[in-house]
Amino acid sequence: MKQSALFNIEGHVAMVTGAGSGIGLAYAEVLAENGAKVLLTGKTPERLEAATSRLRAAGCDVDCQVLDIADTDKLRTTIDGLAAKHGRLDIMFANVGISHGRGFLVDPNGSLTAIDFEGFRRVVEVNLTCNLLTIAHAARHMRPQKRGSIVVTSSVAGLTAEPIVSYGYAASKAGLHNAVRQAAADFALDNVRVNVIAPGPFLTNIGGGRLHTDKATAKVFADGVPMKRVAHTDEIKGLALLLASPAGSYITGAIIPIDGGSTAILPGRGT
């Protein structure tokens, strides 16, 4: 099979949550640039509108809608509306993730004995519960059509102890991994694939965008990576297209790190 057929998503209907910037925007770009009809969603209208205008100017078929996935009613109506508009839903990237505070390696307040449990609960609610609802609402449309790809953004912090990030972030990502495996098994006979991309450190706006602005924190993250650098969001596009396209037709229930080799050197990374 030729490359053009393997990675063909021309005309596929896709939605990306948290698409205004960072990894979510990279997902939306690679899908749209390869012919998918993409709905970008997120909480910041200015970012969404700027990204949508730029992609439309490049000839892409994109739209945007302001959405806080913690508004679970609007989350469902947005997904249902997209599927009703096009008569199908082929691809869902559940990308929203938040953090609260930093890990104990870089902040004494990150210790379990000092944890802010209100912040912890908020992170788990968004990163785990709301992303599971995103998967569920997408699957309701994909199962009857007997096809679909759902890709969830997690983190290498869900694979092992990660002293740089908060307890809430690490716990929510670990829980998400097992929930995705469960969903992959649940939907397998309907040819609906569910996979996780688990990034290492990327230049995004999570945690207030401190990897952009705080050189000391960025160095701590980079030092824990064998390649000794933080990744650019463009570097996640190839894996995203693989999982969304026919090239990934036999991949489901996978947790795929994209981390510059970080998980290859466990334990002791980042210490």
Q: Phi, psi (5° rounding) for residue 34?
A: -105, 20
The burial of 73, by beta-carbon neighbours within 10 Å (0-12 exposed, 13-18 middle, 19 or more buried), is given as exposed
Instruction: Tell me, yes or no, if 169 is annotated catalytic.
Output: yes
Give the whole-angstrom CA distance, residue 137 versus residue 205.
26
Q: Tell me how far CA of residue 168 lies from CA of 36, 111, 118, 119, in angstroms.
A: 34, 11, 10, 8
Please enumerate in sequence order all residues whose Cβ is within 8 A of that of 113, keeping only pairs 6 or more positions apart, or say none. Answer: none
- Given 27, 167, 169, 250, the catalytic residue: 169
Q: Which residues are identified as catalytic?
A: 169
